[in-house]
Amino acid sequence: MLGTELSGVLRSRGMDFRGSDREVDIRDPAALLRFARETPSQGAGFDWILNCSAYTAVDKAEEEEEVARAINAVGAGNIAATAREIGAKVIHLSTDYVFRGDGDRPYLESDPMDPAGAYGRTKAEGERRVAAACEQHFIVRTAWLYGRHGPNFVYTMLRLMRTRDLVSVVADQRGTPTWTFDLANALADIAGKDSSKFGVYHFTNEGQTSWHGFAVEIQRLGRELGILARDCAVTPIGSDQYPSRVKRPSWSVLSKRKIAEQLAIVPPEWKASLRSFLSGIAGSQELDARIGPQA
């Protein structure tokens, strides 16, 4: 979802890049180095490596922690080591799950990592490996992603709201919905400015809500933009009513002060971005293919 979005943003800016998918195994240092050396950018070496790869199945990671670790930790470290080897800078994507998720104020980059589950543990280890392998690194933590490419909460809610009279959504977990287009532009800004203000940063959209509040806004905009032709009750429930193998963070709000002050990147407000996203796909055949026809 993010990698495809980022490719589009880089292309629209005229930034020369090369992308890879599963044909380059990030668990294999030799494969990474071979790709970096044999895929030159306009005859020159790479200046930046942007790592959007991750194992993100939060529940499944509880039974596949070593599989998740191979991608989120070992693989991330391999990418950073490759960047160091070729003299490039690296941007690595991380997550709010590196925190315990029981706070009452926006998490700062300097707050200690204390993950509650396997997914968070592997991502926290990945951060440490990236920092150790390449001094020229940016670690960008984000949360609650949705976007045009790939399954996500917005598409799921719209599909259910088109076919059901009632949808129940967790109301006791708070965070910030984040449009992949906004995140991709922030990453492109860092690389485009060739920044050297290395370290850990947070980027989500601005503001906060619950998953229930997010769903209510999806429905409101869906009705306004003609995506939803019928009403659907959106009922709040507690996390204890939603089955999960791992405790989801009740608090996922991240502070964006550092990225604004040090990199001059100011995230848009989440409701404005959600409107822009839905306005851009309303009435499209692509949307109907993803969420199904109107009931």
Which residues does the annotation mark as catalytic? 119
| The residue type at 179 | W
Q: Is 185 exposed, middle or buried (0-12, 13-18, 19+ CB in 10 A)?
A: buried
Task: Label residues 103-116 b or e (16+ Cβ within 10 Å = b).
Answer: beebbebeeebebb
- CA separation, residue 289 to residues 40, 158, 292 (Å): 37, 12, 6
- CA separation, residue 97 to residues 15, 39, 56, 81 (Å): 31, 34, 11, 24
Distance CA 233, CA 219 (A): 9
Other CB atoms closer than 10 Å to residue 213's CB: what's the count?
18
